[in-house]
Amino acid sequence: MASTSLPGGTWPLGDLTVTRFGYGAMQLAGPWVMGPPADRDGALAVLREAVDLGITHIDTSGAYGPRVTNQLIREALHPYADDLHIVTKVGATRDEQGGWPPARDPESLRRAVHDNLEVLGLETLDLVNLRLGNAEGPRAVPVAEAFGTLADLQRQGLIRHLGVSNATAGQVAEARSIAPIVCVQNMYNLAHRHDDELIGELAAEGIAYVPFFPLGGFSPLQSSALSAVAAGLGATPMSVALAWLLQRSPNILLIPGTSKVAHLRENVAGAALRLAPGDIAELDEIGR
């Protein structure tokens, strides 16, 4: 693995150390995260380039494809380097219409963990996030049974660390009362700032916050203020949005996704932008 310096440095996930700039594999599956990629060789090249750039944090899920991104990760990167850490999610499956129905009963969660182990070719999963809520966002329901199931699998040695995704602050607290967590993965970006307080609380506890859809997801961020700051820096709006996240809080880890090597390199370069205090102040107003 190359020793390339990535923007943001590193952050500990429990006893694991990962680059704050990571890679999210969701876009390697087919359209709407279903089926195989149109360009399989290109998908494998993106994963290998991520590792060559020095990225040590790859985010995936058995539901992507389903199974497709996990299969690609294994084909491209197995046997895995000691410092490469693959983070997966359980708690949702896919239906024939491309929906994301929940699958958080104990048997479904156990089956998902074993499936991730098998497809990725691992004996222990570094980190498993419990996906809560639904495609529309978090839902304030109890998590004790589901998270307790993952805690049991952790005690069996199948999972090293735990986290939660698409969770309310109350669910984060409930999960932490059952077993330690090392990260929270929620939707957050310049335009969606609902977790500002939670990010600060987690940073004080040494817990990572991992924004999904850091660039807006299927509807890219649109803002005149973002465009103005980007123009002043001679950068793209998406580069500025990534740089803002890295500078927002030291516990924020980035996992932007792409299916193109050139775009991956652009994301890495963009996140390295240094924003002046005036730029940050202007950008901070977008989500308020």
**Integer Cα distance of 199 and 208 in angstroms:** 8
Largest CA distance in the chain: 53
Q: Contact at 8 Å (CB) between 286 and 230?
A: no
Sign (positive or negative) of CA dihedral 43, 191, 244, 56: negative
Catalytic residue among 23, 64, 188, 209: 64
Which residue spans within the chain are E strands per DSSP? 10-13, 16-19, 23-24, 57-59, 85-90, 125-131, 159-165, 183-187, 208-212
Amino acid identity, position 260: K
Amino acid identity, position 165: S
Bridge-based pairing of strands 10-13 and 16-19 is antiparallel
Instruction: Tell me whether residue 188 is one of the annotated catalytic residues.
Output: no
What tokens does 205 get?
A: 């506890």
Residue 181: strand, helix, or coil: coil
Q: Contact at 8 Å (CB) between 69 and 30?
A: no
Write the CA distances from 186 to 100, 125, 193, integer angstroms.
16, 20, 11
Residue 62: strand, helix, or coil: coil
Q: Contact at 8 Å (CB) between 214 and 258?
A: no
Write the CA distances from 243 to 20, 40, 42, 185, 193, integer angstroms.
12, 30, 26, 18, 16
Residues recognised as catalytic: 64
